Amino acid sequence: MDAVGHPRADLLNLLESADALIVRSETRVDEELLAAGPRLAVVGRAGVGVDAIDLAAATRRGIVVLNTPGGNTLAATEQTFALMLNLLRHTTTAHQRLQRGEWSRRDLVGTELAGKTLGIVGIGRVGGNVAARARVFGMRVLAYDPFVSQARAEALGAKLVDLETLLRNADIVTLHAPRTAQTQDMIGARELGLMRQGTRLINCARGGLVVEEALLDALDSGHLAGAAIDVVREEPPPPGGTARRLHGHPKIVATPHLGGSTHEALARIATELAKDILAVLDGRPPMAAVNAPAVPDDDVRPFVDLASILGGLYPQLLERTTLPSFSLTLEGEIARYDAEPFVVAFLVGLLQHVTDRRVTTVNARGIAAELGIAVEVLAAKCERGFASGLSLRGGELALAGTVVHGEQPRLVEISGYEVDVEPRGALLTTRHHDVPGIVGKVGTVLGEAGINISHMQVARDGDGNAIMIMGVAAAPEPPVLERLRALPGLNVVRCLVVDR
């Protein structure tokens, strides 16, 4: 349902039957709006900033909030340099004169980037890309970011310093910080005063990082040589306000929030956001949740999905009604990653089968705590012949899996039985005595019920016991399962369903 350009009241009405909501920066997602969507499971921000979304209210309701932090990284990086070069080379002014039929360049002598010091405030995705490209221009790079290590800054060719040192020594200051309570108005009259005479300021990050009245004063006084801004505090700016005065200032180059507006960035954002929304609606962990553990990178996502699959399989294989404490072991190369996304994914898969509450990556930890479910995380070498694996133990039941070909989950162990099963769709599992004829009898019952078998595997132990796993086209109805359970020699018959 498309509500673009509609009044807020129309959006509130549409949310009554919506499972997901996608917004841009103009839409204010507050308590009222969230309450209007009783089925709402996920809010996706097509972009980076989520300051217009009430994260606390969404978290209370178990609603996952997504953004697309990497989708417009290159676009915002290039916009930064577009404005920087425009500001230093007077491109807009020169173009306007030519359009008026004037050939005048005497007062348009520009400044080169090479040899200048660039101060980057916030050296995350965009700031890091700006740093790398600034080095190619021959610039010296200083960086301020309280959440980044010196090693990370050095890897990008930047020297990490405190904010005051950066402001005092930079020829150009570019902002790439998020808008938070800590960064709101971070560049005010004091900070602008610390900058050297003739410094230039670039803001392609978020409106509200700069005190606009102070910036206007610094430009009027001649302390700053110029500024380039893609964002302002209130968008679009109201008539007669400070932002409007900035947009018309002769020392300003301004654009109407075009940082992420490229065809390539919009395509990436749409694709990434659609994948993450589908993941949430399918009960899988997303890559870019703002109010839930984030999946580190694409290489790890299949293992996080595997953790969710193991969690979903466990209660379907459990032979008792109470849940024990669990241990989740990260084996091999994935052991170096933060365990939280794996634990939360496991809990999401598990809890969907043991509670009627809506479980997401946002509230899984809280629900587990209410139910007294504890998860211990261990790390170990992977001794199964794979680079990485996940193993789960709860009571007497143990499961293990891995990922093959970079994306395909595989179940490789069920309580000591070595298997190789793709956990997808409906799986019929049995425990039986290892005697001839069992496979045929099960196949006969399924054939008479019109249920096709897609694949089958039998694993044995050394004591005359075996398990069988069959991929079936459809989950058998209860009467079919009862017929199977009545077959001589079959001890346990279960139908597992893996939704993915």
Q: What's the CATH number where 399 sits?
A: 3.30.1330.90
21 belongs to a structural domain: yes
Same domain, 341 and 415: yes
Residue 428 and residue 398 share a domain = no
Domain contains 287? no
The predicted-structure confidence for 34-90, as pLDDT tens digits, reads as follows: 999 999 999 999 887 787 899 888 888 889 999 887 888 999 999 999 999 999 999
Q: Answer yes or no: do 31 and 122 share one domain.
A: no
pLDDT score, position 326 = 94
CATH at residue 86? 3.40.50.720
Q: Is residue 375 part of a domain?
A: yes
What parts of the chain have a pLDDT lower than 70?
320-321, 500
Structural domains counted in the chain: 4
- Give how far Cα 191 sits from Cα of 119, 165, 186, 215, 243, Å: 13, 11, 8, 10, 19
Same domain, 131 and 250: yes
Rounded Cα–Cα distance for residues 56 and 54 (Å) = 6
Q: Residue 232's pLDDT is what? A: 96
| Domain extent for 41 | 8-70+266-281
Give the residue among 492, 490, 488, 494 at the shortest CA–CA distance from 470.
494
Q: Note whether residue 85 is domain-resident.
A: yes
- Are 372 and 305 in the same domain? yes
- Which of these is catalytic: 257, 284, 365, 410? 257
Domain end residue (candidates: 374, 394, 422): 422
Whether 288 is covered by a domain: the verdict is no
CATH number at residue 441: 3.30.70.260
Question: Beta partners for 400?
Answer: 391, 413
The single residue of 26, 31, 154, 235 carrying the catalytic annotation is: 235
Instruction: Pick the catalytic residue from 61, 206, 233, 410.
Output: 206
In this structure, the answer to whether residues 313 and 272 fall within a common structural domain is no
Based on the fold, state whether residues 48 and 174 are members of the same structural domain.
no
- Judge whether 119 and 174 are in contact, CB under 8 Å: yes
Check if 235 is active-site: yes
Residue 112 and residue 19 in one domain: no
- Examine the domain organization and report whether 58 and 84 are in the same domain: no
Note whether 271 and 224 are same-domain residues.
no
Same structural domain, 223 and 313: no
